[in-house]
Amino acid sequence: MKFDTPAGQNPIDQLKVVGKATDRIDGKYKTTGTAPYAYERHDVAPNQAYGYVLGATIAKGRVRGIDTAAARRAPGVVAIVTTLDTPRLERGRMNAAYLFGGDAIQHYHQAVAVVVAETFEQARAAAFLVRVDYAPEPGRFDLAAEAPAAPPVGGNSGEGSGAAGAERVGDFEGAFAQAPVQLDATYATADESHAMMEPHATIAAWTGDRLTLWTSNQMIAWSKGSVAKILGLKPENVRVDSPYVGGGFGGKLFVRADAVLAALGARAAGRPVKVALTRPLIANNTTHRPATIQRIRLGATKDGTLTAIGHESTSGNLADGKPETAVDQTKLLYAGANRLTAMKLARLDLPEGNAMRAPGEAPGLLALEVAMDEMAEKLGIDPVEFRIRNDTQTDPMKPGRRFSHRNLVGCLRTGAEKFGWAKRNPTPGQVRDGRFLVGIGMAAGFRNNLLVKSGARVRLDRDGRVTVETDMTDIGTGSYTIIAQTAAEMMGVPLDRVVVRLGDSDFPASAGSGGQFGANNATSGVYAACVQLREAVAQRLGINSADAVFANGQVRSGNRAVPLGEAAQAGELSAVDAIEYGDLAKTYQQSTFAGHFVEVGVDADTAEVRVRRMLAVCAAGRILNPKSARSQVIGGMTMGVGAALMEELAVDTRRGFFVNHDLAGYEVPVHADIPRQEVIFLDEADPISSPMKAKGVGELGICGVGAAVANAVYNATGVRVRDFPITLDKLIERMPDAA
């Protein structure tokens, strides 16, 4: 189905199932531990052996030799594959680092061997008997040191944000120089780790030249192609299966070392092999969100109209790696006649930087939305009003190009009202509650809506049961449920008559999970297939599909009503289709918007920050399942608290690695860090986006929320920290009335 004109009235608009807050259909499996994750598939292949991955202990250099003699003699060892046993393997899609093969070490904890044994304990013990001889080379590990000489580099996150090396509108420098009120501030954000709860894991089994991977991956079609490329196989000989994914956040967009080494280990062992990356390996072996240094310059008239907006960001990456696209949202969020956005990329020898939840916007808004708070204070204008004054309904970079639907102002006004913004004391450091200095902050949230081709197959059996099959993944996002809701709405059956099967590369290729593009596109693909199935049902029943009404498990036409399953009595009906998009995304700018409001308490003596209240108001098109969409948003808000207050991969700039590479050293928010969170979805539908009239929402929660936390800390204390995360050591010496 080609979607090239805005959607009219369609069966989804009935909203009998879609749009209702719905318990997840996979919930009973997840809560009972019966949902099978990658490493747990005892049922799929007999006689599985265990692989244990060894990572390099240098950041850069060469492997001179690997002594596996002792390891090979160890009890239970079945096979050992080292990086010297194979030439450097090709890279998969979107990766800068090579995963395995050859003697070159590009980054710390790059995989150098996999030891396969009868048991996990034996594989682990034997792995530590492998001796690797390295020839280390000096590397570059310090972003701040490399930033001044970094060249301009454009790039795209592949997840919806992108920018050129430099983009200009009007005369930024001139307008900034002439602006009566100016802000020029530099912000830093930290390297962050996805730290999803399920480690990267794969079971690999070969049948001749055919390889099956039961793995944990967000993008099945990409990964099938990548596995074929990396291992030199025909794509049709690769099957990838990920029905349950224990979190990804961008870290599982790609094939990683677990999949490659399970496959190589299985080939060497002559039997299925299962590999999970150990937790301490993940931060350095896989990808991370790169640190940034961002300079923001804002110029405004005294009445608070922005006349100059400049945002420059520098990040670092391996050769062939991309910049963190932190300036992307600044092209679109506020009006302003004179604009500059620019990115520089330093060459670093740290592990690969790549997409993590809302790549670009998450760190970009940490800087931009603190800068907006600082500017509002300089202007003496309320931060909410300042943002509303600079709202735009058209793309500021391309005059005349409208947003498909933009209600940022509604988000900000609704949020201000519900959160009690009017009661905020704009003078910092004035509100005390016991030992805590209390502050309130806000920020705007912004993330683009991406349109990506997505396919599905829908089958109808004689019992009237509808089965949806697509390689779409559910990484916690709620895909199972919204896909079932879509099929139920389209075919006129209750939710429990729909079976959803996901994550298998034998199913039609979908958009996959990333860039908050999964929900809208995957359900639109299911919509397209259901339109075909409705047509097939009507034909089989000999009725005009235009007259057919699908409701209550029946197909009605005029006075005739037959059970839906009737259409499949002579044999199952099946329909395959995909949603494909025309140029509506070019004609219109499609984005989603939020207003984030946060209250913090900062301990007056220790400067410990406690988040007390959080509210997000979201304008993101039709919300398909308000229950799981709300969870996506609060999850983003939680990760945003992490970015604002605690998350930081600490770089050893001498040896070149992330030091705190486990869940004790890399702190993420825990229960005690997160208060009750509120989410309001503005009631809207965007017919320009898709037939579902939905947009992305899964990353909107993290976009801007960290800045709201930072602005609340400032309102509480009067201390402005521009170097994230805002840990107490950065606050304590500047706290008011510090004893």
Partner 1 sequence: MPDPASLDLNRRDLMVGATAAAAAAALPTAAGAASAAPAAPVTAKVAFTVNGERRELDLDLRTSLLDAAREHLHLTGSKKGCDHGQCGACTMIVDGRRINACLTLAVMHQGAEITTIEGLGQPDNLHPMQAAFVKHDGYQCGYCTPGQICSGVAVLDEIKAGIPSHVTADLNAPMQVTEAEIRERMSGNICRCGAYSNIVEAMTEVAGRRA
Cα 329 to Cα 395: distance, rounded to the nearest angstrom: 11
| Closer to partner 1 by Cβ: residue 42 or 560 | 42
Question: Of all helices (H) and strands (E), which one includes residue 616?
Answer: strand 609-619
**Shortest Å distance, C-beta 674 to partner 1:** 4
Q: Is 367 left (phi over 0), alpha (psi -120 to 50) or beta?
A: alpha
The token duo for 717 is 């204390």
**Does the annotation mark 699 as catalytic?**
yes
| Closer to partner 1 by Cβ: residue 385 or 608 | 608
Contact between residue 610 and residue 674 where contact means Cβ atoms under 8 Å apart: no
The token duo for 45 is 């292949």
**Shortest Å distance, C-beta 348 to partner 1:** 26
Cα 384 to Cα 597: distance, rounded to the nearest angstrom: 10
| Closer to partner 1 by Cβ: residue 294 or 677 | 677
What is the SS3 assignment for 499?
A: strand
| Closer to partner 1 by Cβ: residue 54 or 371 | 54
The token duo for 160 is 């919806």
| Torsion angle, alpha carbons of 485, 488, 491, 493, to 10 | -170
Please give the backbone phi and psi of residue 354, each rounded to the nearest 5 degrees, phi first: -160, -170
Cα 86 to Cα 100: distance, rounded to the nearest angstrom: 8
Which residues of 400-471 form beta strands (DSSP E)?
A: 432-433, 436-448, 454-460, 466-470
Contact between residue 601 and residue 438 where contact means Cβ atoms under 8 Å apart: yes
| Closer to partner 1 by Cβ: residue 477 or 510 | 477
Question: Of all helices (H) and strands (E), which one includes residue 187?
Answer: strand 181-189
Residues forming beta bridges with residue 345, ordered by sequence position: 315
Question: Of all helices (H) and strands (E), which one includes residue 711?
Answer: helix 705-717
Q: How many CB atoms lie within 10 A of CB 111?
A: 26
**Shortest Å distance, C-beta 70 to partner 1:** 4
Whole-angstrom CA distances from 580 to 3, 524, 527, 663 are 6, 9, 12, 41
**Shortest Å distance, C-beta 276 to partner 1:** 7
The string of DSSP codes covering 66-134 is EE-HHHHHSTTEEEEEEGGGSPPPPP-TT--S--S-SSEE-STT-EEEEEEESSHHHHHHHHTT-EEEE
- From the list 118, 352, 699, 733, the catalytic residue is 699
Angle between helix axes 361-379 and 626-645 (nearest 10 degrees) is 70
**Shortest Å distance, C-beta 41 to partner 1:** 9
**Shortest Å distance, C-beta 279 to partner 1:** 4
What is the SS3 assignment for 717?
A: helix
The string of DSSP codes covering 10-72 is -GGGG-SSTTS----TTHHHHTTT-SPPGGG-TTTSSS-EEEEEEE-SSSSEEEEEEE-HHHH
Question: Which spans in 590-682 are helix H?
Answer: 626-645
| Closer to partner 1 by Cβ: residue 276 or 578 | 276
**Shortest Å distance, C-beta 115 to partner 1:** 12
671 half-sphere exposure, CB direction, 13 A CA radius: 0
**Shortest Å distance, C-beta 630 to partner 1:** 7
Residue 447 identity (one-letter amino acid) = R
| Closer to partner 1 by Cβ: residue 578 or 639 | 639
Nearest one of 125, 119, 137, 128 to 67, comparing CA atoms: 128
**Shortest Å distance, C-beta 76 to partner 1:** 7
**Shortest Å distance, C-beta 51 to partner 1:** 13
Q: Would you please indicate which residues are annotated as catalytic (active-site) residues? A: 699
